[in-house]
Amino acid sequence: MPTPPIDPEDQLSLNLDDPAAPEAAGTEDESADATSLEVSHPFVPMAAKGQTPRRMGHVGEMYGNWFMDYASYVILERAVPHINDGLKPVQRRILHAMKIMDDGRLDKVANIAGQATQYHPHGEMAIVDAIVNLGQKKLLLDTQGNWGNVATGDNAAAPRYIEARISKFAHEILFNPKITEWQLSYDGRKKEPVTLPVKFPLLLTQGVEGIAVGLACKILPHNFIELIDGAIECLRGRTPVLLPDFSTAGLMDATEYNDGARGGRIRVRARIEETKKKNLLRITEIPFGITTSSLVDSILAANDKGKIKIAKIEDLTAEFVEILVHLPAGVEAGDILNALYVFTSCEVSISVNACVIQGEKPIFTNVTTLLKYAADHTRNILKQELEIGLSELEEKWHFSSLEKIFIEKRIYRDIEECATWEAVMIAIWKGLRPYLKLFRREVTDDDVTRLTEIRIKRISKFNSFEADEYLKGLEKEIAETKHHLENLTKYAVAYYRDLKAKFGKGRERKTEITSFTRVAASEAAVATETLNVDWQEGFIGYGMKRTGDPLCKCSRLDDIVVFLEDGTMKVSKVTEKAFFGLPQHVAIFNKDRTPVYTMVYRDGRQGRVYVKRFQVGGVTRDTVYDLTKGTKGSKVLYFNVHDTEEESAAQKLTVFLNPAPRLKSLEIVLNMAEVAAKGRSAIGITVTDHSVKRVSRVK
């Protein structure tokens, strides 16, 4: 929006004559600037601490007002649709311009944009983009040429090559100049509609997205047929359940939709089919707001990061979506399906925020309220149209009856000898006087004047029988119109059903409503890497194919648990290569599994030997946990792990001692069933004070 120029004098009007202002430059208050001005406007800075508050300067006031004006303008005139017709101003002006141009033939989009610039104070490219957006929704415009592809993201051809016109459906629901409220265009030269008299929940059918200053709007598109059925339910006093429907189809979980109100959201998935080939997946439908190219890019990015493993991907999309995902040998299609949903754009979450303009201000609402408003608004417009139609029919009946009497009773002959206009009027009034009680409203001088305008040819060809039949037809139409006004809800229901019959074919629901099970990223990750361990150097990772020993398959999202010879333990995220120290045991860490560990360790360099059985429980990643008493020089002499408590308790260990004076036996047998399984911080049970040679399991 253009900003008004600043008067040079205004730039200096910072209250320099104010007694509280600094006396002259170079004083102690030399650093005082605009921040020392007291302001009441929220967009102008307050007075600096310790300085005397002062009145807001003229420049600050102007900037504050300009920001508020700009914010209001963007909200009301750019980004947010009006609740009455569900259109943004640019869309409304385009449709109005196309209606003026309409002659039944297709018009170049470039010409339409040029016509619309008479009403919309912005560049033609912005108007062209809005026209293309309307055309791609295939509802209000009939199009010809390359209008782009919503699925692939391909752009439309240049506006000089593509054509459009108002569709039959738009003619049916959008326009009626007799009940349209008009306003002057931005330059005051043209008239444009404040809102169009839309007789349909257009806002919910098309959906809308806009970002303004301080707020945003996102209303998802809904199914054409379901909206008509829902509007009928609203007219009958019931509350329908509405869920979005997308032209790109796909699968939708709307359990958190919240009726489209602020804070609600849905999850949408691509439709992925498993083919007869075990290593091939076919994507035939994509999520709303995602293109095939962006979907392919997300799959390739996930593959590069090691989150999924694919051999290649082919985008064969033409009229219909078809993306082929080829998997490498050894990777089953069922294993990678969840990973595609978790790590790529095959599943997206869409937040909603139903915000519309009502009464010159934005309001936040929900889909059901919008549908009820649209149904009531349609009924009110139909009422206005019926009332206007009834008035026109009664006016036709009135003048046709007046004309019939004027001709049949040969009143026109009474004016043949009249020399003045006044004499003509008096003669006609005199001839009509006996029949004035037959009319439904008072006869006026304007009516009598119209009688004088009847041509002689019409009088000479007047047929009394045809006139009577015409009046009977008018009376029948008047009676029908009055009946419709008395039964307005039934009439509105019939109107909606007629729309459904005329335009509902081929608009059945495309998006399948279902529910998704939330899959954790760690669970969806496919084990495409090999975890390697260098037992001598203490390095662990999936990038050590030459220097390490392969341990197991892993994904790049896995955590590993490492038990070291010094009796410490750490859980870390797997990487290409990381140093941990001399490992005693390495495994993929699963917090849902609770294996039982058996450990025999020496406390310090020459201390006692202890045995304990324990479970790890909750841990913090990259935190070192000491499983011994913490004495420096401690060492693990034996370590083992079992999945169950029973397996751990069933084992027996033999502790071999080094020879020593007075030592009668060099072997100690440990029955693990006698050692209770506790937490990782437990010290354990003393085995011996003597030096231990080794510990082995009794087979």
pLDDT digits (tens, 9 = 90+) for 387-442: 999 999 999 999 999 999 999 989 888 888 888 999 999 999 999 999 998 898 89
CATH number, domain at 318? 3.30.1360.40
Q: Are 570 and 582 in contact (CB under 8 A)?
A: no
Radius of gyration of the chain (CA): 42
Q: How confident is the model at residue 18 (pLDDT cuts 50, 70, 90)?
A: very low
Distance, CA of 674 to CA of 649 (rounded, Å): 8
CA-CA distances (angstroms) from residue 12 to 29, 47, 569?
18, 18, 71
> Which residues contact residue 598 at a Cβ distance below 8 angstroms, ignoring those fewer than 6 apart?
611, 612, 613, 638, 639, 640, 641, 642, 648, 651, 653, 672
Segment 603-657, tens digit of pLDDT: 998 899 999 999 998 899 989 999 999 899 999 999 999 999 999 989 999 999 9
Q: What are phi and psi of 375, to 5 degrees?
A: -65, -45
How is residue 541 written in tokens?
A: 């990772």
Average pLDDT value for residue range 436-465: 90
Minimal CA–CA distance to 99: which of 161, 200, 156, 177? Answer: 177
Residue 65, pLDDT score: 74
Domain match, 584 and 693 both: yes
DSSP letter assigned to residue 4: P
Domain match, 470 and 543 both: no
Domain match, 392 and 291 both: no
Q: Are 321 and 285 in contact (CB under 8 A)?
A: yes
* pLDDT above 70 (res 52): no
Distance, CA of 45 to CA of 42 (rounded, Å): 8
Q: How confident is the model at residue 199 (pLDDT cuts 50, 70, 90)?
A: very high
The reply to whether 463 falls in a domain is yes
* pLDDT above 60 (res 50): no
Average pLDDT value for residue range 56-63: 64
The reply to whether 590 falls in a domain is yes
Domain match, 580 and 644 both: yes
CA-CA distances (angstroms) from residue 434 to 167, 304, 446?
52, 97, 19
The reply to whether 375 falls in a domain is no
Residue with the larger pLDDT of the pair 501 and 11: 501
Q: What single-letter amino acid sits at 474?
A: L
Domain match, 483 and 530 both: no
**Helices 333-343, 292-304: crossing angle, 10 deg rounding:** 110
Q: Are 648 and 672 in contact (CB under 8 A)?
A: yes
Q: Are 106 and 141 in contact (CB under 8 A)?
A: no
Residue with the larger pLDDT of the pair 75 and 210: 210
* pLDDT above 70 (res 23): no
Residue 39, pLDDT score: 34
Indicate the burial class of 99 (C-beta count within 10 angstroms; 0-12, 13-18, 19 or more).
Answer: middle
Q: How confident is the model at residue 367 (pLDDT cuts 50, 70, 90)?
A: very high
Q: Are 586 and 562 in contact (CB under 8 A)?
A: yes
Residue 11, pLDDT score: 36
The full length of the chain comes to 699
Element at 633 (helix H, strand E):
none
Q: How confident is the model at residue 332 (pLDDT cuts 50, 70, 90)?
A: confident
How is residue 319 written in tokens?
A: 């009229």
Q: Are 347 and 269 in contact (CB under 8 A)?
A: yes
Q: What is the mean pLDDT of the chain?
A: 86
> Which residues contact residue 581 at a Cβ distance below 8 angstroms, ignoring those fewer than 6 apart?
538, 564, 565, 566, 568
Element at 438 (helix H, strand E):
none
Residues serving a catalytic function are 161
Q: Are 458 and 370 in contact (CB under 8 A)?
A: no
Distance of CA 418 to the CA centre of its chain: 76
Instruction: Report the first-to-last Cα separation within the chain, whole angstroms.
Output: 86
Q: Residue 337 belongs to what domain range? A: 271-345
Q: Which of 345, 362, 395 is the last residue of a domain?
A: 345
- DSSP H stretches of helix in 409-455: 421-432, 445-452
Percent of the chain surpassing pLDDT 70: 90
Domain match, 29 and 124 both: no
Residue bearing tokens 């790049």: 556
Domain match, 569 and 493 both: no
The reply to whether 441 falls in a domain is yes
The reply to whether 144 falls in a domain is yes
The domain tally of the chain equals 5
Q: Are 550 and 534 in contact (CB under 8 A)?
A: no
Residue 130, pLDDT score: 94
Segment 539-557, tens digit of pLDDT: 999 888 888 888 888 888 7
Q: What is the largest CA-CA distance in the chain?
A: 160
Percent of the chain surpassing pLDDT 90: 62
The reply to whether 410 falls in a domain is yes
Residue 240, pLDDT score: 94
Residue 53, pLDDT score: 47
The reply to whether 464 falls in a domain is yes
3-state secondary structure (DSSP) of residue 334? helix
CA angle 464, 468, 472 (to 5 degrees): 170
Residue 510, pLDDT score: 95
Residue 38, pLDDT score: 35
Domain match, 25 and 139 both: no
Residue bearing tokens 């062209």: 128
Domain match, 544 and 690 both: yes
The reply to whether 288 falls in a domain is yes
Domain match, 67 and 92 both: no
Residue 525, pLDDT score: 67
CATH number, domain at 167? 3.90.199.10
CATH number, domain at 391? 1.10.268
Residue 17, pLDDT score: 38
Among 34-43, 51-60, 219-228, 492-501, the minimum mean pLDDT is found in 34-43
Segment 144-188, tens digit of pLDDT: 999 999 999 899 999 999 999 999 999 999 999 999 999 999 999
Domain match, 394 and 341 both: no
Q: Which of 345, 376, 398 is the last residue of a domain?
A: 345
Residue 524, pLDDT score: 61
* DSSP secondary structure letters along 545-600: TTTSEEEEEE-TT-EEEEEETTSEEEEEE--SSEE--SEEEEEEE-TT---EEEEE
Residue 68, pLDDT score: 72
Residue 548, pLDDT score: 85
Residue 470, pLDDT score: 93
3-state secondary structure (DSSP) of residue 413? helix
Q: Are 81 and 87 in contact (CB under 8 A)?
A: yes
Residue 522, pLDDT score: 57
Domain match, 531 and 611 both: yes
How is residue 499 written in tokens?
A: 């729309």
Segment 274-309, tens digit of pLDDT: 888 778 899 999 999 999 999 999 999 998 888 888
Q: Facing residues of 539 across strands? A: 534, 579
Q: Which of 73, 105, 122 is the last residue of a domain?
A: 73
